[in-house]
Amino acid sequence: EPEVTQTPSHQVTQMGQEVILRCVPISNHLYFYWYRQILGQKVEFLVSFYNNEISEKSEIFDDQFSVERPDGSNFTLKIRSTKLEDSAMYFCASSLTGNQPQHFGDGTRLSIL
Amino acid sequence: SQELEQSPQSLIVQEGKNLTINCTSSKTLYGLYWYKQKYGEGLIFLMMLQKGGEEKSHEKITAKLDEKKQQSSLHITASQPSHAGIYLCGADMGNTDKLIFGTGTRLQVFP
């Protein structure tokens, strides 16, 4: 069964450094998403991406965040200057259309030191 | 106030018992999605409900969306240790791409 894959599974980074989280969505899906889950808290929406542009973003998704689909398969989340509070599990998801189920990857655990 | 609340927060049941998890929204639901999460892992899609009164089943798990479309329940029949995990409801509240998630229900099933 097709699945969303994320790399790396765990990323440890010094505060202030840039980090790029990578995702390969399900191949025929058209909508892509990033969510995050701070330890012990809810899963929170960050951004959605469709037709090579951001379609929606949350207030969490400020100027330090960016997303890109550099080729036909990868979808990346970049955090420009990481802060301690960026430590979380980051999930990528994809869906065939905007009102079809979102399928999630296993996540990248980001630890900021 | 929370947009989406789940109850109970935690559930410990003996293998073979039935159980129900509830998800209540403060707003009308345009779609309700149930996921299962194992600790430290991703969310596994279980079921999607879109119409009031809709009920879906997969193996021993049944989910229903109520007529007024502001509450959903997930029922597990004859629970097994493999059902253990965190169950999350995610809501589409209309005119948005995002899912709003509940706080989750941690289920433990002991032999």
Q: What one-character-per-residue DSSP string does A14-68 give?
A: -TT--EEEEEE--TT--EEEEEEE-TTS-EEEEEEEETTEEEEE-TT--TTEEEE
A106–chain B nearest CA distance, Å: 4
B31 touches chain A (CB under 8 A): yes
Chain A residues in contact with B102 by the CB 8 A cut-off are: 42
> Looking at residue A70, what is its pLDDT?
87
Rounded to whole angstroms, the Cα distance separating A79 from A94 reads 20
pLDDT for B2 equals: 65
CB pairs under 8 A between A and B: 55
**With an 8 Å Cβ cutoff, is B95 touching chain A?**
no
pLDDT at residue B99, rounded to an integer: 95
What is the Cα–Cα distance from A8 to A16, expressed in whole angstroms? 19
pLDDT tens-place string over residues A7-19 = 999 999 999 999 9
- The answer, yes or no, to whether residue B12 has pLDDT greater than 80, is yes
Query: A42 pLDDT exceeds 60?
Result: yes
C-alpha distances in Å from residue A44, one per residue of A52, A70, B75, B97: 22, 24, 25, 13
Partner B contacted by A51 (CB < 8 A): no
Average pLDDT over residues A31-51: 95
Cβ contacts of A46 within 8 Å, gap of 6 or more = A33, A34, A35, A36, A57, A58, A60, A61, A65, A77, A90
Percent of chain B at pLDDT exceeding 70: 98
pLDDT digits (tens, 9 = 90+) for B17-56: 999 999 999 988 889 999 999 877 899 999 999 888 899 9
Contact B102 A107 (CB under 8 A): no
In A67-90, which positions are buried (b, 16+ CB within 10 angstroms) versus exposed (e)? bebeeeeebebebeebeeebbbbb
Can you give the pLDDT at residue B1? 53
> Which residue does chain A place closest to B101, by CA atoms?
A43
For residues A33-42, give the mean pLDDT.
94
pLDDT band at B95 (very low <50, low <70, confident <90, very high): confident
**CB nearest A105 (choices: B42, B48, B102):** B42
Across-strand partners of A32?
A49, A94
- B52 has a chain A CB within 8 A of its CB: no
Which residues of B are less than 8 Å from A89 in CB distance? 40
Average pLDDT for B64-84: 92
Q: Do A50 and B103 touch (CB under 8 A)?
A: no
Q: According to the model, what pLDDT value does residue A36 have?
A: 97
pLDDT tens column, A58-103 = 999 999 999 999 887 899 999 999 999 999 999 999 999 988 999 9
